[in-house]
Chains A and B, each alone.
Chain A
Amino acid sequence: MTAQQPTTQAPAQAETVELERAVVKHWKAPISYAVLTLVALLLTVVLGRDGSATLRLASSGDLFQLPDAVLPARATGIVIVILLAALTALSFWAAATARRLGVWLPIVFGVLFVVAFLTWAGAGSMIPIAGLLFATVGLSVPLILGAMGGVLSERAGVVNIAIEAQLLGGAFTGAVVASATGSTLVGVVAAMLASVLVSMVLAVFAIRYFVEQVIVGVVLNVLVAGLTNFFYSSVLTDNPALNSPVRLPKIPIPLLESIPLIGPALFKQTIIVYAMYVIVPLIAWGLFKTTWGLRLRAIGEHPMAADTVGIKVNRLRFWNVALAGAVAGLGGAYFTLDSNGSFTREMTAGLGYIALAAVIFGQWHPIKATLAALLFGFASALQQTLGAIGSPVPSEFMLMLPYVITLLAVAGFIGRSRPPAASGKPYVKQ
């Protein structure tokens, strides 16, 4: 041992010296931008449409009326394509010199692209922007709450493919219980409990019986669809009284509801939506700033490490998955107690899978997942709006958008999606 005493000075430095590095260049992002720029070029210039798009920014109850924005389609398109090309070039330059650009680039790029698309699609007609935003929020609420359920569960290490089942179970139970008791709020609570029950089944099979979590999730989706269909056919169709809940009232917030453009969309909503405004930041803060969040993330990343500091991994996982169910269940209640007013067969129509897509595209981060859900909600709202004014784009392609974006995201073309390390893996100890 003594013969091996180091003869050189400063041994402490040795371990902080990193291995030599070669420069690695990432080309995926600039290539993605280039493709999108080409799409914009194709749409607005090659397939360009004449006329102007009128973007109506005002709505009736506003504090003050914003004027309509009238954008000549072709000219706007050309200007934006030039801007997009410049951003793309910037991105190529950054990649070539291995520099990092801020998050502003994708955001600016995205907004410009959307404006270009809107003026092109809306050429010769009027697009009610306030209505579009209102619809966006409406369509996003279950997505956001479902995605929060997904984030919580997966951060705790349990893959949640069963968001669809949680939403559907919540929607059904909410409708039936609210109808039976006559109390909408009891219905909301029941929806959350039903969803918690679905989550607990997921948790028990995943944590206690180590069943592959994707299997449980997929099967739960089928099971809950089967159960709700069965009860719908065998009970609800004969007893319509059990499927006519009193809907939650819209509670406009004075003053805020009159903000032009966003007022009605954000502040003329039901209690579920307001609850969502609280829940999302609460989860974000809790995950990253509290003991609960620290432990939750720990068991999703490295459960054994958590175990060695005395954290009861499986118990914690169980309760957090249950909590995830409660949040998703609120989203389920939204279907029957807010937007629709009664239960119909398989009314969630695959939205649970879009919520899952939002979780992934949002990189398992509550805020980013919310933004992703909003984006997906915006895509469907846009599809509805364009359908009403006669869209040049088939509505199916708009409906496809969330899935295509998620495919590109998981393939690494947009952002970097790395799930919690232990997500999907049961924790087994002697």
Chain B
Amino acid sequence: MAVEHPTLELRGITKRFGALVANDHIDLEVRAGEIHCLLGENGAGKSTLMNVLYGLYHAEEGEILLDGAPQRFAGPGDAMHAGIGMVHQHFMLIPVFTVAENVLLGHERALGGLAGAKQKVREISQRFGFHIDPDARIEDLPVGVQQRVEIIKALSQDAKVLVFDEPTAVLTPQETDELMAIMQQLRDEGTAIVFITHKLREVRAIADRITVIRLGKVVGEASPQSSSTELASMMVGRPVELTVHKRPPVLTDNRLEVTGLTVLDAIGQKVVNDVSFTVQGGEVLCVAGVQGNGQTELTEAILGLQPRATGSIDLNGNELLGDSVREVLDAGVGFVPEDRKVDGLVGDFTIAENLMLDRYRGAPFVSAGTIDRGARDEFATEKLGAFDIRAQGIDTHVGTLSGGNQQKVVLARELGRPLSLFVASQPTRGLDVGSIEFVHSQIIATRDAGIPVIVVSTELDEVVGLADRIAVMYRGGVVGIVPADTSRDILGLMMAGERPAGIPAPTPSKGAAA
């Protein structure tokens, strides 16, 4: 399909946020009938670029051309009219509306009212073999189906260019495969597709062209035949070494035994379904799985944050289930939450205050109901050095720190008291490579100190690097617990909910956990 002009062309797009240059003279070309991957780390500026393209942001410099004609987008409405459709990372769907209402919104006249929208939904569903009821409410639909509604929404506007912004983050490997099939079908129909991701395997599987961006700049184009290592080093800018150096585990008597743990959510769904496992002191159990398969709820249940949990969580003979968070922490559980800014830190507090956040009662920081500022500051100063937290001082507000330094504050706090269990959820999400190495070394040091460690991660590389054993979760249940040297293919299958031959089934709850 050689056309004179590419369907979409971006020239010298520059977007600044204050002192930060999120996009620095970015050029990009997408032709009809090709899938162009935009590869880059979290925060490299991919989403910003697409928001500029979609008219949500206004670029300071540069121009957007469609079929060779320069465009000016005052808002997303203009971009849509020009033929750009977007499948957003966080679905832009109104939960209490029906599918048809969501498709109709903003295009009431063009679609000819609700009846027209329903017709359109049926039409497109049929074309792609979706089974979607136009009258279903979005909030009642599973995530994968919601994404299809996003796609239908974009297609209902006859988009020439379709942008998929990190579409696989919320999908299982199976759903990912199906999505890719859809993307290929769209490509074959002549749509120009921009596929934004940081997952190398997906890029290599589907891309026709690859543009890598880093720190807001285009680093270069890569061929789909490039190896993962090549792509990764382009993406992060230096050869990455994700191997974690660790000695064989030395098991100790410390022991966490989870038996038959079931967690219900507010509407009664079993988000964690009869999970049993054991972690011993001196080993790391990694919980792998696609985001949203119950890992979050599992760790929260251990911490006492899930009210509707049944079963048993036994730490060295001490039943934790039913205890309050306070009691769990006092039992010696250290916890690194999945989202440090939401759950781990108080951004408006200083580093010193955050370091005593979960020790607000009694010694060493509180006496007679009053905070001992001397003891607090002394502790903070020590940890600032020990954990290499780069900040002006202990009075710096945590909200102004970089992600890596924020995570170090969390670690310094959680590892700063005597522990009998350490749980880390997505401990390196969104961190730079240097910080990742530091976090990993701290986790291994904790393990080597004889403490049972649970690490939840959606990144297979991290799981394989850290784990002594791997538990794979799918739809709330544990598919199986396998050794750390299990192949990625098998792990991938397990993440899709299948148990390949030779993998033992997890022990039923009534039996002895192993």
Option from B57, B145, B202, B204 in Cβ contact (under 8 Å) with A430: B57
From residue 158 to 173 of chain B, which have CB atoms closer than 8 A to chain A?
A: 172-173
Contact check, B107 vs A309: say whether CB atoms are below 8 A apart: yes
B496 touches A6 (CB 8 A): yes
Which residues of chain B from 163 to 197 have any CB-CB distance to chain A below 8 Å in the complex? 172-175, 177-178
Contact A309 B77, beta carbon cutoff 8 Å: yes
The answer, yes or no, to whether A46 is at the interface (CB within 8 Å) is no
Interface of chain A residues 25 through 46 with chain B (CB within 8 A): none
Q: Which of A4, A16, A291 interacts with B108 by CB under 8 Å?
A: A291
Q: Whole-angstrom distance between the alpha carbons of A368 and B289 in the complex?
A: 45
Cα of A310 to Cα of B205 in the assembled complex, Å: 34
Interface residues of B in 184-228 (CB under 8 A from A): 201-202, 204-205
| Candidates A3, A14, A305; contact of B92 at CB < 8 Å | A305
Q: Does any Cβ of B come within 8 Å of A18's Cβ?
A: yes
Q: Does A308 contact B (CB under 8 A)?
A: yes
Pair A309/B268 contact, Cβ less than 8 Å:
no
- Indicate with 1 or 0, residue by residue over A3-22, a CB within 8 angstroms of chain B CB atoms: 11111100110111011111
Q: Is the CB of A310 within 8 A of B76?
A: yes
Cβ contacts A277-317/B at 8 Å (1 or 0 each): 00000000000000100110110011011111111100000
Inter-chain contact A1/B201, CB cutoff 8 Å: yes
A421 within 8 A of B: yes
Find out whether the CB atom of B80 lies under 8 angstroms from the CB atom of A310.
yes
The complex places the Cα of A301 from the Cα of B94 at a distance, in Å, of 7
Q: Is the CB of B106 within 8 A of A309?
A: yes
Q: State the main secondary structure of chain B at its contact with A.
A: mixed
A293 to B: closest C-beta gap in Å: 10
A19 to B108, CA, bound (A): 35
B51-84: contact bitstring with A at CB < 8 Å (1 yes, 0 no)? 0001011100000000000000001111011000
Residues facing A in B230-253 (CB within 8 A) are none
Expressed in whole angstroms, the Cα–Cα distance for A277 and B332 within the complex equals 65
B104 adjacent to chain A (CB < 8 Å): yes
Question: Closest chain A residue to B51 by CB distance?
Answer: A430
Cα A211 to Cα B489 in complex, Å, equals: 53
Taking a contact as CB atoms under 8 Å apart, the answer to whether A24 and B267 are in contact is yes
B106–A310 touching, CB < 8 Å: yes
- Assess whether B498 is interfacial by the CB under 8 Å rule: yes
Does A23 interact with chain B (Cβ within 8 Å)?
yes
CA distance A429 to B54 in the complex (A): 13
Number of B residues whose C-beta is below 8 Å from A?
A: 60
Contact B269 A307 (CB under 8 A): no
Cα–Cα, bound, A89→B270 (Å)? 30
Q: Which of B31-39, B95-103, B119-127, B318-326 contacts A (4 or more CB under 8 A)?
A: B95-103
Nearest CB in chain A: distance from B141 CB, A:
9
Q: Are A308 and B97 in contact, CB atoms less than 8 angstroms apart?
A: no
Residues of B within 8 A of A19 (CB): 269-271, 273, 475-476
Interchain CA distance A330-B239 in the complex, whole Å:
70
Contact B269 A18 (CB under 8 A): yes
Q: Which chain B positions have C-beta within 8 A of A291?
A: 108-109
B270 touches A294 (CB 8 A): no
Residues of A within 8 A of B267 (CB): 21, 24
Contact of A6 among B174, B273, B475 (CB under 8 A): B174
Known: A4-B173, A308-B76, A309-B107. A430 touches B95 (CB 8 A): no
The interface residues of chain B lying within 8 Å CB-to-CB of A302 are 92-95
B421 close to chain A: CB less than 8 A: no
Q: Is the CB of A20 within 8 A of B78?
A: no
**Measured between alpha carbons, how far is A301 from B92 in the docked complex, in Å?**
11
Cβ A306 vs Cβ B492 within 8 A? no
Given A4-B493, A21-B269, A11 and B145 contact (CB-CB distance below 8 Å) = no
Q: Which residues of B sit under 8 angstroms from A18, Cβ to Cβ? A: 142, 269
**Contact (Cβ within 8 A) B174 A11:** yes
Chain A nearest Cβ from B84, distance in angstroms: 11
Nearest chain B residue, comparing its CB with the CB of A8: B498
Shortest A379–chain B CB gap in Å is 31
Q: Which residues of B contact A14 (CB under 8 A)?
A: 172, 174-175, 497
Is there contact, CB below 8 Å, between B270 and A310? Answer: no
- Closest residue to A11 on the B side, CB-wise? B174
Cβ-defined contact, B496 with A294, below 8 A: no
Bound: A6/B267 CA distance, A: 30
Could you say which of A3, A8, A24, A305 contacts B268, with CB atoms under 8 Å apart? A24
Chain B residues contacting A310 (CB-CB under 8 Å) are 75-78, 80-81, 106
- Closest approach, in angstroms, between the C-beta of B137 and any C-beta of chain A? 12
The answer to whether the Cβ of B144 comes within 8 Å of any Cβ in the partner chain is yes
Q: Is the CB of A429 within 8 A of B173?
A: no
CA distance A309 to B492 in the complex (A): 36
Residues of chain B lying within 8 A (CB to CB) of residue A1: 177, 201-202, 204-205
Residues of B within 8 A of A3 (CB): 489, 492
Report yes or no: A306 in contact with B106, Cβ–Cβ below 8 A.
yes
User: With A6-B498, A14-B172, A302-B93 in contact, is A22–B492 under 8 Å at CB?
Assistant: no
Chain A neighbourhood of B371, CB < 8 A:
none
Q: Which of A6, A8, A24, A308 contacts B177 (CB 8 A)?
A: A6
How far apart are the CA atoms of A18 and B264 in the complex, in Å?
A: 13
The answer to whether A12 and B131 have CB atoms under 8 Å apart is yes
Interface flags for A404-418 (1: CB within 8 Å of B; 0: not) read: 000000000000000
A376→B54 CA distance, assembly (Å): 49
Q: Are A12 and B94 in contact (CB under 8 A)?
A: no
Q: How far is the CB of A348 from chain B (nearest CB, A)?
A: 33
Query: Is B94 touching A430 in the complex (CB atoms < 8 A)?
Result: no
Once A6-B496, A308-B56 are accepted as A-B contacts, the answer to whether A21 and B178 lie under 8 Å apart by CB is no
Q: In the assembly, what is the distance between CA of A18 and CA of B268, in Å?
A: 11
A13's closest neighbor in chain B, by CB? B131
Tell me, in angstroms, the Cα distance from A16 to B75 when the chains sit together. Answer: 35
In the complex, whether B118 has a CB less than 8 A from a CB of chain A is no
* Interface pair A430/B105, CB less than 8 Å apart: no
- Report whether A308 and B54 are in contact in the complex, using a CB–CB cutoff of 8 Å: yes
Which A-B residue pairs are the 5 nearest by beta carbons? A310-B77, A309-B106, A1-B205, A15-B144, A305-B92
What are 21 A-B residue pairs whose CB atoms fall within 8 Å in the complex?
A1-B204, A4-B496, A7-B493, A14-B174, A15-B142, A15-B172, A19-B271, A19-B476, A294-B97, A294-B101, A297-B97, A301-B96, A301-B97, A307-B75, A308-B56, A308-B76, A308-B88, A309-B76, A309-B77, A309-B107, A421-B96
Interface residues of B (CB under 8 A from A): 17, 54, 56-58, 75-78, 80-81, 86, 88, 91-97, 101-102, 104-109, 129, 131, 142-145, 153, 172-175, 177-178, 201-202, 204-205, 264, 267-271, 273, 475-476, 489, 492-493, 496-498
